[in-house]
Amino acid sequence: MTQYQPIAISDIDLSDQTYRVTRAPEDLSALTLSISAQGMIIPLKVIEKAQQRGRGYTLVSGFRRIEAARSLGQSQVRCQIYPAGEAAACARMAVAENAFCRDLGPGELARAVVLVSRHMDAAALAEHSLQIFNTRLNLKFVETLIFLGRLNESIFHLMDSGQLAIKAARVLATMPEQDAQTMLGLFSCVKASSGKQMEIFTWAREICAREKIRLDQLLNDSQIRAALDPNKSNQDLGAAANRVRAVLYARRFPQLEAARTRATGLVRDLGLPRTMRMTLPENFESMVYSLLVSFTSPEDYAKSLEVLTRLAAHPAFHQLLDRQGPFK
């Protein structure tokens, strides 16, 4: 039987985040104002700690509200109390309460699945997912999230913060545990779109396979470490991701990258005016180069023709087109 009663906040173990599904609160000012004006409309849910009946509680729902109440200096909150034996029901409630109010973020969903999976096997969880998670989850996805949850708690934060997309998380779940931990370490230092995350995965794994090195050896390489260097003036995680990608790309496609660098240098040597833009053949596979010329008047056009004539005699132009430059 559940019961409602006021409980001292000090009797609730706020360090116990077992039932937490939501992200850590960022701005609670509006909620604090609301509680200050109208009181706590919906009571919190707590469950008795197994060994401390009547004295210690774990919070099941209301993680933001209790923070707001504390910030208002309140010492007691009204709670719905569940006996220690109802942990499974509490897990489902903690999830459903959030999932039926709004879409869960990727990290929240992962955290929720892991929470419920402590009381229900993966197949049953998938089967009952609609009633708990307000969405259908297939068994494979459930198993992936459970695997990830076992791996490292930080994974949820990375998913919440957008540093680890679901797609990339799925790849993590296929990796040996040590490699997955290594990749998690990397993703905690960068922020990239899902597509770029997948490129990082793919290039890193393929470099390791080709060079027969371990993932941790690759990611501890001095160039990668330099790309991640927290002392860099620019601590933008997105910029760090781009630096890491650049290092990995150059190692995965060394000749292509070198050719691009040389070709870009030659284009720079041409000193084209702003009104002209040269496009190199994609991956240098075709022999077709294109030059976009913009002009606004017959005079402009005539000037462009002069530039084009000079271009035809420029050594860098010849090196580009006969490929001696980029393919050196």
Per CB under 8 A, which of residues 161..220 are in contact with another protein? Answer: 206-207, 209-210
Kindly tell me which residue out of 285, 297, 306, 312 binds another protein, with binding defined by CB under 8 A: 285
Is 256 a binding residue for another protein by CB under 8 A? The answer is yes
Task: Report the residue from 249, 253, 289, 295 that binds another protein according to the rule CB under 8 A.
Answer: 253
Instruction: Confirm or reject binding of residue 135 to another protein (CB under 8 A).
Output: no
CB of 207 to another protein, least distance (A): 8
286: contact with another protein by CB under 8 A: yes
Integer angstrom CA distances of residue 288 from 265, 267, 308: 18, 15, 17
Q: How many residues bind another protein (CB under 8 A)?
A: 18
Q: Is 97 in the site for another protein (CB under 8 A)?
A: no
> Identity (one letter) of the amino acid at 83?
P
**Residue carrying structure tokens 């040269």:** 278
Nearest in space to 151 (alpha carbons), one of 125, 187, 190: 187
**Contact by Cβ (8 Å): 36, 22:** no
Span near another protein by CB under 8 A; candidates 61-69, 241-249, 255-263, 292-300: 255-263
CB 93 within 8 A of CB 60: yes
Among 2, 131, 174, 255, binds another protein (CB under 8 A): 255
Please report how close the Cβ of residue 106 comes to another protein at its closest, in angstroms. 24
Residues making contact with another protein (CB under 8 A): 206-207, 209-210, 252-256, 259, 282-287, 323, 327
